[in-house]
Amino acid sequence: MKTIVPPQAAAAPVIHASPPLPSYIPPFGLRTVIGCLGMLLAVHVAGFNEHVTEIGLSDIRGAMHIGHDEGSWLISVYEAFNIAAMAFTPWFYMTFSIYRFSIFMTVVMALLSIPAPFMPDVTSLCILRAFQGLAGGCLPPVLMTVMLKYLPPPLRVFGIGGYAMSATFGPNLGLPLEAFWFETVGWQWLYWEIIPLAAIAVGMMAYGLPRDPMHFERFEKFNWLGLSVGLPAICSLVTVLYQGDRLDWFRSPLITSLTFWGMAAFIVFVINEAFHPSPYFRIQYWRSRNIQAALLSLVGILAICSIMAEIPATYLEAVRGYRPVQAAPVSLVVALPQLIMLPLIAALCNSRKVDCRFVLAGGMLCLAASAWLGTWLTVDWVRDNFYPLQILQVFGQPMTVIPTLMLATMAMGPADGPFISGMVNMLKGLANAVAYALFAALSRRREQYHSTMLLDHHGTQALALQGMGNPIAHQLSGTSPDAGHVARNSLQVFHTYVHEQSLVLALNDIYAVLVCVCLGYAVMNLLLPHRVYPPRAPSPNTPAR
């Protein structure tokens, strides 16, 4: 006799940190599109608030009478809380609903920018920027969930393309916006420029995003240990990356302490997330080869793009003396074509005939070619010489970011969205910190090396050079009858030449490193991940399971 087990006696599936009731997903239409675009605009506003103030830090420091060392904390404090917020955001928007949480954080971020120019000292400004970074960091994870949840399956790859705008379009628009606001309106608008756009974004989200119910019962299983340990751990490690090179890394007691306690707390955080019934993100995802390849590639690609954007700006400012308004076209060459390239690459990857891994490898080759051209950098380059490099990045950036996000998300189910969103966005923010630390360390150390070698070569050839005269002193001899004054000026000009040459050689070395890294990522993504296919709407003839 066969025993029939009633349905209620079957083992219930274990659901980790998901709402007890399914969220309402409205029929796709114009209202949903407006809500999604409002969420996209809010994320760009958060990105402008981050990049414009970071690029315009020199102007802000001059206007507010802040020193260089004190001003560096404005960036590191903002970025630390911005990145830490991304890890914990999914739990909170599932609890308070996407609609309420997104609007609240956008309003808070905009309102905190109003008193920023009037802060009396650096400490109060750092505290304000910490809360602003916390609010701004809560928005990108929501965007990923909105695009994957509210868009129909045939359009989800285009939603990923919209999310990719925050990694390609927004950062490259920071320099032109800084130049516009500072040169045209005033330095205070480096903070206030987000207010009108934030108001438009709030209006669009209020109209278009669905009103999901709140789930306060989720606080019964709130992950207090994960928040209390993970938040300071991430903030400490990000601070190490932003302040490490300035404080000479582990020769500084502060950097040593932050690294030790930050790593210890992060290990506890990871162990807690692996076993907690309501985690902020699931460590078990790292067992997937696609997740491993996608997340590692995401950090590397965004770090590469950030460094490749930083090199022209550094060269044009330090060697050619360009102001941001003069260097802005170099960034616009990459930023504006993204409005066309991102939909085109998304449409290409949305075809089931196209393997996104090959698109990703092709994008890495474009970035490698751009870096290879950069190895020809000399002190004679001007702004126009960077345009061929930037054009290659126009193709390379969307061809790498969109397939990487597809590898990370297309194999996931709807219930996995919040957990993968937190990981992807935390690592996306961490990539900027890694790029900042790598560029600062490599440029400083390689510049010191080349400066030492140039001066050593000059010293060993001093006797041979004496017979050739001193062309610098000869050119300056007509400026003053005082021979001592001319000699001092000649020495100053000579050291300026050495600094320019050593900086250019250091940037060449960084470009050469980027070529090797890009080629390595291209090979890795052809071998490690499995192929994923773009989602399609279920067929009406498919039987229900």
The predicted-structure confidence for 179-207, as pLDDT tens digits, reads as follows 888 778 888 888 888 899 999 999 999 99
Confidence category of residue 466, pLDDT binned at 50, 70, 90: low
Residue 290 has pLDDT above 70, yes or no: yes
**492, burial (CB in 10 Å: exposed 0-12, middle 13-18, buried 19+):** exposed
Terminal Cα-to-Cα distance of the chain (whole angstroms)? 27
> 13 and 158 in contact (C-beta within 8 Å)?
no
Q: Of 91, 102, 89, 36, whose CA–CA distance to 215 is shortest?
A: 91
- 520, pLDDT greater than 90: yes
The type of residue at 393 is Q
pLDDT at 543: 47
Give residue 4's pLDDT band: very low, low, confident or very high (50, 70, 90): very low
**Structure confidence at residue 490 as a pLDDT band (50, 70, 90):** low
What's the confidence (pLDDT) of residue 229?
A: 92
Please give the torsion angle defined by the CA atoms of residues 45, 82, 217 and 7, in that order, rounded to the nearest 10 degrees: 90
Is the predicted pLDDT of residue 380 greater than 50, yes or no?
yes
pLDDT score at 462: 63
Residue 473's pLDDT is 54
Mean pLDDT across the stretch 512-527?
Answer: 92
How far, in Å, CA of 84 to CA of 30, rounded? 34
Sign of CA dihedral 206, 210, 211, 212: negative
> What pLDDT score was predicted for residue 479?
59
The values of phi and psi at residue 384, to 5°, are -65, -25
Widest CA span in the chain: 117
Q: What percent of the chain has pLDDT over 70?
A: 87
Average pLDDT over residues 299-323: 91
- State which amino acid sits at residue 97: S
Whether residue 507 has pLDDT greater than 60: yes
Collapsing DSSP to helix, strand or coil, 451 comes out as helix
Which CATH number is 282-458+483-536's, of 1.10.3720.10, 3.40.50.1950, 3.90.1150.10, 1.20.1250.20?
A: 1.20.1250.20
Residues of the chain with CATH 1.20.1250.20: 22-222, 282-458+483-536
**What pLDDT, on the 0 to 100 scale, is given for residue 478?**
53
On whether the CB atoms of residues 404 and 346 are closer than 8 A, the answer is no
Other beta carbons within 10 Å of 354 = 15
245 or 24: which carries more pLDDT confidence? 245
d(C-alpha 301, C-alpha 407), whole Å: 14
State the average pLDDT over residues 364-372.
95
Question: What average pLDDT does the structure give for the chain?
Answer: 83
Whether the Cβ atoms of residue 402 and residue 164 lie closer than 8 Å to each other: yes
pLDDT at residue 16 greater than cutoff 70: no
Residue 414 pLDDT class (50, 70, 90 cuts): low
Mean pLDDT for 317-335 is 87
Angle between helices 289-318 and 483-527 (to 10 degrees): 160
Q: Examine the pLDDT at 471 and tell me if it is beyond 70.
A: no
415 pLDDT higher than 70: no
Fold for domain 22-222? Growth Hormone; Chain: A; (1.20.1250)
Cα–Cα distance measured from residue 129 to residue 118, given in angstroms and rounded to the nearest whole number: 13
Span 318-346, average pLDDT: 88
The pLDDT assigned to 482 comes to 54
Q: pLDDT value at position 23?
A: 54
pLDDT at 375 over 80: yes
Which of the pair, 17 or 498, is modelled with greater confidence? 498
Q: Give the mean pLDDT of 333-340.
A: 90
Whose structure tokens read 């802000």? Answer: 60
Residue 247 has pLDDT above 70, yes or no: yes
Kindly write down the DSSP assignment for every residue of 186-213, as one continuous string. Answer: -TTHHHHTHHHHHHHHHHHHHHHS--PP
CA angle in degrees (0–180, nearest 5) for 29-30-33: 90
Cα–Cα distance list, 258 to 144, 232, 234, 254 (Å): 31, 10, 10, 6
The residues near 102 (Cβ < 8 Å, ≥ 6 apart) are 39, 42, 93, 139, 142, 205, 209
- Tell me the C-alpha distance between 266 and 67, whole Å: 32
**pLDDT for the residue numbered 483:** 56
Percentage of the chain lying above the pLDDT 90 cut: 36
pLDDT over threshold 50, residue 35:
yes
Closest of 228, 204, 239 to residue 35, by C-alpha:
204
- The 10s digit of each residue's pLDDT in 208-245 is 888 888 888 888 888 889 889 999 999 999 999 999 98
Query: How far is it, in rounded angstroms, from Cα 44 to Cα 201?
Result: 10
- Among 18-22, 312-316, 422-426, 528-532, where is mean pLDDT lowest? 18-22
Average of pLDDT values for 116-135? Answer: 90
Q: What is the pLDDT of residue 472?
A: 59
Q: What does the buried/exposed string (b/e) look like for 396-424 if buried means 16 or more CB atoms within 10 Å of the residue's CB?
A: bbbbbbbbbbbbbbbbbeeebbbbbbbbb
Which are the contacts of 462, defined by CB distance < 8 A and separation ≥ 6?
none
* Torsion-angle region of 290 (φ positive above 0: left; ψ -120 to 50: alpha; else: beta): alpha
Q: Which residue has the higher pLDDT, 16 or 395?
A: 395
For 537, the 3-state DSSP assignment is: coil
What pLDDT score was predicted for residue 477?
55
Please say whether the beta carbons of 436 and 492 come within 8 A.
Answer: no
Most confident of 254-263, 401-410, 492-501: 254-263
Structure tokens at 437: 């630390």
Quick: pLDDT tens for 58-92.
878 888 888 888 888 988 999 999 999 988 888 88
Residues 12-28, mean pLDDT to the nearest whole number: 50
Q: Is the pLDDT of residue 510 over 90?
A: yes
Top-ranked range on mean pLDDT: pick from 141-145, 422-426, 441-445, 494-498: 441-445
Would you state the pLDDT for residue 355?
87
Which pLDDT score, from 0 to 100, does residue 469 have? 59
pLDDT at 480: 56
pLDDT in the model for residue 493: 72
Structural tokens at position 168: 């390609």
Averaged pLDDT for residues 399-420:
80
Q: What is the pLDDT of residue 268?
A: 93
pLDDT at 487 (0 to 100): 57
